[in-house]
Amino acid sequence: MLRPRIFRPPPYLFTGAKVSFLRPIQLYRPLSPMTITRSAGVHHRRPAPSRRGDPVVIQREPPPTSEPPPTSEERYIPEEEREPPMAGRGFLVLFALIAAPITFAYQFPTRILPPVPDPPEFKNLSKTPLTLGTWVSSPWQSCQLLMFRLRRGEYVVPLRKNFSFSPLNYLGISSQPNDLLNLASGNGGAPEKWRWWTWGTYMFAHGGLFHFGFCFMAMSSLVPMFVARYGVGRTLASFFGGGIGAAALCCQIEDYLHGQDVKDGKGIHIVQRKQATPNGSQVTVNELAPVPGYKGMFISSIGSSAGLMAMITTTAIAMPQSKWGLMFLPFTVGARPMVGALVAWDLAGALGYAPDMGVGHVGHLCGDVIGLLMYALWLRRLPVSRVMAWRRKREGYW
């Protein structure tokens, strides 16, 4: 009777690993591929021999490194934080529903002097508030009355007070024309309560259709990218935190540079010019013009671009391999070159080297700073940020 051939692996095959066989391997039995996991964490793969008598080759896989290369970002994101990119579409729709009517109402002028008389059909409704019951009972008449009041400019002043911020209001100085005339004359400005909520509500008002469309297009590209990696909560915190932080930083900078001079009446002067009235005559009016260098103290800022600049800066740091396409250009641009060009343009505009097109360059730069701080102090510490850092280093980015 033949004895089975016993194969005992030599010890040099397992150099540096504490391994031991519980029983010898019998080669006369049919073998199948298997994986033996040792207590030391070393994996030995033993392929099945093709025919009887072939030598058994035991291969040793390299030991795992201290930071194993991840196969995907989702592997390091907890289950409760994984959200699809479509989860941010609800925020985009809600933002559009709130911002579009406010932007539409912002396009109408201020109150006309002398006031336009009420049409006969609106004479009985001139002081009627547009409540929900009025809209339900007579929607067409309510719509006409709303448009008539918008053309008269009755809602522009409340909108500008509650949906725009200015460093002058942060200083507690009234921005009414008569109060500013007294301030420019050296009589001192009237005090005004600081409207703290405008640091967040100004992001829903825009200067026109192009401004709103450009910001919403950028938002619709950034929000799904952020939601897929950081979740809806952190995306909203990045957007609104960037906008609120940019407004606060802008007010602090203007207060530090020109706050005391404006309180003393040195930042604005009176200019007289002629203005035509609706009846064809001309009257001389006194207008206020800020002194060069003090314009940022008196303008009111609106738009969501500061929060978007914070998100764009974060994207350029965390995902530099992403490519951005611009309108009317047939090629794409890298994230970091794009941010560098935007920062250079805003610096030129803030220093007066670029033409004045009504763009808040200081607010954009403040948004860039807030986005950099949010990533350095908060987002960089998240597990998904560490995975993205490993990936961009593997692709040659710093």
Q: How far apart are CA 297 and CA 254, in angstroms?
A: 6
pLDDT score at 221: 86
Residue 110: pLDDT band by 50, 70, 90 thresholds?
low
- Is residue 5 over pLDDT 80? no
Average pLDDT score over residue span 136-163: 83
- Is residue 364 over pLDDT 60? yes
Helix (H) or strand (E) holding 272: strand 268-276
Residue 46: pLDDT band by 50, 70, 90 thresholds?
very low
Is 285 within 8 Å of 275 (Cβ atoms)? yes
**What's the whole-number average pLDDT of the chain?**
76
pLDDT score at 145: 81
Residue 356: pLDDT band by 50, 70, 90 thresholds?
confident
Is 298 within 8 Å of 315 (Cβ atoms)? no
Residue pLDDT, tens place only, 168-219: 999 888 888 778 878 877 777 788 899 999 999 999 999 888 899 989 989 9
Burial class (CB in 10 A: 0-12, 13-18, 19+), 25: middle
pLDDT score at 123: 65
Following CA atoms 390, 391, 397, 398 in sequence, which dihedral angle do they give, to the nearest 10 degrees? -20
DSSP character at residue 44: E
Among residues 218, 264, 263, 249, the alpha carbon closest in space to that of 360 is found at: 249
Which CATH number among 1.20.1540.10, 1.10.10.10, 3.40.50.2300, 1.10.1040.10 corresponds to the domain 91-108+155-394?
Answer: 1.20.1540.10
pLDDT score at 43: 43
Average pLDDT score over residue span 326-335: 79
If one compares 203 and 297, the residue with the highest pLDDT of the two is: 203
pLDDT score at 73: 44
**Neighbour-count burial for 292-315, b at 16+ CB within 10 Å, e otherwise:** eebebbbebbbbbbbbbbbbbbbb
% of the chain at pLDDT higher than 70: 73
Residue pLDDT, tens place only, 76-107: 444 444 455 566 788 899 999 999 999 998 88
Q: Residue 288 CB: number of other CB atoms within 10 A?
A: 15
Average pLDDT score over residue span 132-159: 81
Average pLDDT score over residue span 27-35: 39
Average pLDDT score over residue span 28-40: 38
pLDDT score at 115: 57
% of the chain at pLDDT higher than 90: 25
Spatial CB neighbours of 23, under 8 Å, sequence gap ≥ 6 = none
DSSP character at residue 111: -
pLDDT score at 121: 67
If one compares 256 and 271, the residue with the highest pLDDT of the two is: 256
Instruction: Look up the pTM and report it.
Output: 0.72
- Is residue 30 over pLDDT 50? no
